[in-house]
Amino acid sequence: MPTYRFRYFNLRGLGEVPRLLFALAGQDYEDVRIPSEAWATEKPNTPLGQMPVLDIDGKPFCQSSAISRYLARTFGFYGNGDLEALQVDQALGVVQDVITAFLKSKFEKDAAKQEELMKEMKEVKIPLYFGMFEKLLKNNGSTGYFVGKKISLADVSLFDLCDKVQPLVKFADYPLVKKCNENVGENPKIKAWVKKRPVTDF
């Protein structure tokens, strides 16, 4: 088994899905959290001048989605075969749409514009995208998983997303999303990680 070293800031942010996958797999790794004030020094040591970075036997790789997909395939959380992988990927596409819209609103510097974007996020985009999640979960037989009857990268990614956008979502309106979120959150390995992970703002 390779030696893994995962480098990211002391945030959940773009680094939490890989950490959740390590936890779910029961795989040891070095969780390196770079202080923001040390980023200028660390930046030249990354492949593309950005984090997260996954070092595999000392060789660095970047891009959070690429890292998550690699870990999911390696640990068996990417479905069985190409069609199930496609099911995972279509859910991940919706997750990314939500994240893109959410980050745009969260980091808008103009206060009035930010309020407008957050309102649109809550009233328009969350219902749109979470309605899509409901459809995908229903199409899988309402099992509470996106693929079959076990956790995949899609479920882990939705769990992480729900954590980030929780104040904007009325989960009672999305029972299958709620069920999926609970399925992941109640997994003993995930539960143990969430309990012990550092408390961060985002």
In 3D space, the residue among 201, 200, 190, 195 whose CA is nearest the CA of residue 17 turns out to be: 190
Distance between terminal CA atoms of the chain?
31
36-42: average pLDDT: 97
Is residue 111 pLDDT above 90, yes or no?
Answer: yes
Query: How many residues can be counted in the chain?
Result: 202
- Domain assignment present for 36: yes
Q: Is the pLDDT of residue 87 over 90?
A: yes
Query: In the chain, how many domains are there?
Result: 2
**Could you tell me if 108 and 179 lie in one domain?**
yes
* Residue 115, pLDDT score: 94
Largest CA distance in the chain: 51
Is residue 108 a part of any domain in this protein?
A: yes
Tracing tokens 């995208």 back to the chain, one arrives at 129
Sheet with 53-56: strands ordered across: 30-34, 4-9, 53-56, 59-62
Average pLDDT, integer, range 64-88? 98
Spatial neighbors of 8 by CB under 8 A, at least 6 apart, are 14, 15, 32, 33, 34, 51, 52, 53
% of the chain residues with pLDDT over 90 = 99
Tell me, what's the pLDDT at 54?
98
Average pLDDT over residues 34-48: 97
pLDDT band at 43 (very low <50, low <70, confident <90, very high): very high
Q: 88 with 157, same domain?
A: yes
Does the pLDDT value for residue 1 go beyond 90?
Answer: no
Q: Determine the residue type at 126.
A: I
Statement: residue 5 has pLDDT above 90: yes
CA distance 99 to 161: 8
As a dihedral over the C-alpha atoms of residue 176, residue 73, residue 186, residue 201, rounded to 10 degrees, the angle is: -90
Specify the pLDDT at position 6.
98
Q: What is the pLDDT of residues 91-110, one digit of tens each?
A: 999 999 999 999 999 999 99
Expressed as residue numbers, the domain containing 22 is 4-76+189-196
